[in-house]
């Protein structure tokens, strides 16, 4: 091991008279992935961000009647480096998560969209919690990531059968005026990317659009515009999901509110940076999907949600542009 790490050490004495505070600080240290070097001495691989977290925690401990000292030190040699890194081995956590995925796979078939969404959200939180404190990922992390991606794919096939593969092709610039009064087609039982794309088409591209909902991509008539399935006129390209491809195709990617919606759709469809509104939208989408009698009704209901989100994102963008709200 050629590189020796630098470590942040928190040496502390927790307040003895306040059991609630002691438990709170212990949980905070555990949640941040701190290793116990010995009683009262906690260790983290040094970064400025992690050290700032420990500094804030040290201040809170001191304010509550305890003592806390924050130190920084490098490993003395390769043997000590290996010993310290071993304190952060998350192999057991990853193995337990893989077992949880194996059990969850047995329950996927037959679950409602709402229950599947809740299951996926809970497991994603568990996975991200482990990843956030796995400072030295190894083979167990690779196996857990592969199992997690396989599980996401399984849920996608249930929630959104026929999910398109990403195409590698240029995205052409198109004129909205050439796409008026057209018939558009996508797979029935819409999920996030399809419903957001249909809303975008009707709201910003073709206000007189007529939609048909396909039982399978192969049922798409040759004279209609398909979206969000393999071989469709508009589908995933590179890293972009269908909603984002439509934004770029029709020059709508200058609208900050639509870009923000695109980030949300991207995160929910293929993963990515978290968007605070995504969890709420996903829950509403799952509920609306179960309540709606058909995709026309689903689009009508979710269009009101997307209209509201668009207005919110637009006002937020304007507020930032004006220097923020007071």
Q: How many CA atoms lie within 13 A of 204 on its CB side?
A: 22
pLDDT tens column, 229-253? 988 999 999 999 999 999 999 999 9
Residue given tokens 């240029």 in the structure block: 170
- 188 lies in the same domain as 307: yes
The tens digit of pLDDT for each residue in 42-79 reads: 999 999 999 999 999 999 999 888 899 999 999 999 99
Return the residue matching tokens 């096939």. 157
Q: Inter-axis angle of helices 192-200 and 295-321, to 10 degrees?
A: 70
- 260 neighbors 313 (Cβ within 8 angstroms): yes
Is there a single domain that holds both residue 189 and residue 314?
yes
Mean pLDDT for 162-188 is 89
Q: Is residue 164 part of a domain?
A: no
Pairing of strands 67-74, 6-13: antiparallel
Distance, in Å, from the CA atom of 247 to the CA atom of 171, rounded to the nearest integer, reads 10
CATH of residue 62's domain is 3.30.70.240
* 85-133 pLDDT per residue, tens: 999 999 999 999 999 999 999 898 778 888 888 899 899 999 999 999 9
119 and 247 assigned to the same domain: no
Give the pairing of strands 183-187 and 210-214. Answer: parallel
Question: CA nearest 302: which of 247, 273, 265, 263?
Answer: 265
Contact 177, 277 (CB under 8 A): no
Residue 163 has pLDDT above 80, yes or no: no
Is residue 281 one of the residues assigned to a domain? yes
| Local structure of 225: helix, strand or coil | strand
Q: Within a domain: residue 166?
A: no
Task: Find the helix or strand (DSSP H, E) in which 243 lies.
Answer: helix 242-249
Residue 269's pLDDT is 87
Final residue before a domain boundary, out of 126, 159, 192: 159
> Which structural domain range is residue 243 located in?
176-321
Quick check: 296 pLDDT over 50?
Answer: yes
- 267 and 183 assigned to the same domain: yes
Is the pTM for the entire model greater than 0.85?
A: no
Same domain, 106 and 148: yes
pLDDT higher at 261 or 282: 261
What 3-state class would DSSP assign to 189?
coil
pLDDT of residue 113: 81
């Amino acid at each position: 091991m050629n590189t020796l790490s630098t470590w942040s050490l928190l040496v502390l004495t927790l307040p003895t008279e306040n059991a609630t505070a002691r438990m709170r600080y212990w949980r905070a240290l555990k949640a941040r992935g701190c290793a116990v070097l010995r009683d009262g001495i906690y260790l983290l691989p040094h970064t400025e961000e992690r050290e700032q977290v420990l500094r804030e925690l040290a201040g809170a401990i001191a304010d509550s009647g305890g003592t806390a000292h924050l130190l920084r030190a490098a490993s003395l040699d390769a043997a000590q480096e290996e010993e310290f890194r071993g304190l952060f081995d998350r192999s057991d956590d990853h193995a337990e998560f893989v077992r949880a995925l194996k059990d969850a796979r047995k329950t996927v078939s037959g679950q409602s969209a709402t229950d599947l969404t809740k299951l996926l959200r809970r497991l994603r939180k568990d996975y991200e919690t482990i990843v956030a404190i796995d400072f030295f990922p190894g083979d167990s992390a690779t196996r857990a990531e592969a199992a997690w991606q396989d599980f996401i794919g399984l849920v996608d096939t249930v929630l959104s059968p026929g999910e398109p593969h990403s195409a590698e092709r240029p995205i052409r610039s198109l004129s909205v005026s050439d796409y008026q009064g057209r018939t558009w087609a996508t797979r029935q039982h819409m999920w996030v990317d399809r419903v957001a794309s249909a809303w975008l088409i009707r709201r910003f591209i073709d206000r007189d659009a007529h939609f048909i909902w396909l039982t399978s991509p192969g049922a798409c008539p040759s004279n209609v515009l398909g979206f969000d399935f393999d071989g469709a006129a508009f589908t995933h390209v590179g890293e972009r999901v269908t909603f984002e491809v439509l934004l770029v195709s029709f020059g709508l990617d200058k609208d900050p509110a639509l870009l923000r919606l695109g980030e949300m759709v991207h995160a929910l469809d293929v993963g990515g940076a978290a968007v605070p509104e995504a969890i709420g939208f996903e829950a509403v989408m799952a509920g609306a999907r179960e309540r709606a009698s058909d995709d026309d009704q689903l689009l009508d209901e979710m269009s009101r949600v997307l209209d509201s989100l668009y207005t919110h994102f637009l006002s937020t963008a304007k507020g930032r542009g004006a220097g923020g709200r007071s």
